[in-house]
Amino acid sequence: MAPPPLPGNQQPVIIIKKRRKRPHAAHHGGAWKVAYADFVTAMMAFFLLLWLLNVTTREQRAGIADYFSPASVSRSTSGSGGVLGGLTITLPGAMISPGAPVSFAQPTPSRAGESDKEPNQTSQEQYDRAGMSTQQIEEKALREEMARREQRQFEQAEKTLRQAIQGIPELAQLSDSLMIEQTPEGLRIQILDQANYSMFPLGSSQMYAPTRQILGLVAQAVGRLPNKLSISGHTDATRFARGDVYGNWELSTDRANASRRALIAGGIADDRIETVVGRADRDHLYPDDPQSPRNRRISIVLLRDIKPPPSR
């Protein structure tokens, strides 16, 4: 239906209304993600650098620097000149043990196809050729270190005993009667008779007071160590008039037992006594002079728990 006509010649008024659109915020895009990824990568590289500085030695760091140096690309002609440079990495973790021996890879002639092997495969083959695994090598190094520690303890016990005897005036003159030496069996302490001094009366196992006092000092010197003791008695070649009833075998055994009792009285635990033996005149200190009074002696051996490493 048409609108009613306006009176006269009037025309309808046309009203135009303009609406302004407010601009929205521009889209940021993904540039921030790229920047964040670069930051994370840089931090990861930084922490890797700190880790490498912590677990490598100066020689290894120099090897890493040479590896990334363009002038040193052609220096290394074999796998032994790599980043680790032949150094041994041992437990714990990736830390380098200060006690681990430094090993250097020796270049060996290779046959066709051997150059493609990994370095760790070559090392494993070397262990197999030597017949020792990594664990066996570590156990051997541990035993050698324990043997060296035990040796230092024996040397300290020897020093303590000598100082103790020198500190007692009435025993200082008997220092020549004391013989201490390191043997493969252990620390051997021997108390010898002299021409003007005897540990026991002739043909008796009842020791004199100075002898008992020296054995007390021996007990103090070795009392702190856990090693077991071996005691043996020795005589010279002099025969008894009635050797069929009581001879050098009985006398040496009785004197060894008397020494055992004196050591226990000085503080040595009874379970530390390993053996008590009478050797009679079968093991002279001076074989060329079987009648020498210095063949009459008491030998006390502080036995080793660990055999020392063989000398090279």
pLDDT, one tens digit per residue, over 188-219 is 999 999 888 899 998 899 999 989 998 998 99
- CA–CA separation, 107 vs 109, rounded Å? 7
User: Quick one: residue 3, left, alpha or beta (phi over 0 = left, psi -120 to 50 = alpha)?
Assistant: beta
pLDDT, one tens digit per residue, over 141-188 is 777 777 777 778 778 877 878 777 777 777 777 777 888 888 888 889
pLDDT, one tens digit per residue, over 77-98 is 555 555 555 555 444 444 444 4
The chain-wide mean pLDDT, for the chain, equals 76
- Going along 263-309, which residue ranges are E strands? 273-278, 297-303
pLDDT grade, residue 259 (50/70/90)? very high
* pLDDT at residue 53, as a whole number: 83
* pLDDT at residue 205, as a whole number: 92
* pLDDT at residue 103, as a whole number: 47
Closest CA to 301 of 258, 265, 250, 263: 263
Burial of residue 231 (number of CB atoms within 10 Å: 0-12, 13-18, 19+) = buried
* pLDDT at residue 255, as a whole number: 95
pLDDT, one tens digit per residue, over 57-81 is 888 888 777 777 765 444 445 555 5
- CA–CA separation, 18 vs 15, rounded Å? 10
Q: What is the mean pLDDT of residues 284-302?
A: 92
Q: Is residue 288 predicted with pLDDT exceeding 80?
A: yes
Query: What are the phi and psi torsion angles at 10 (to 5°)?
Result: -70, 140
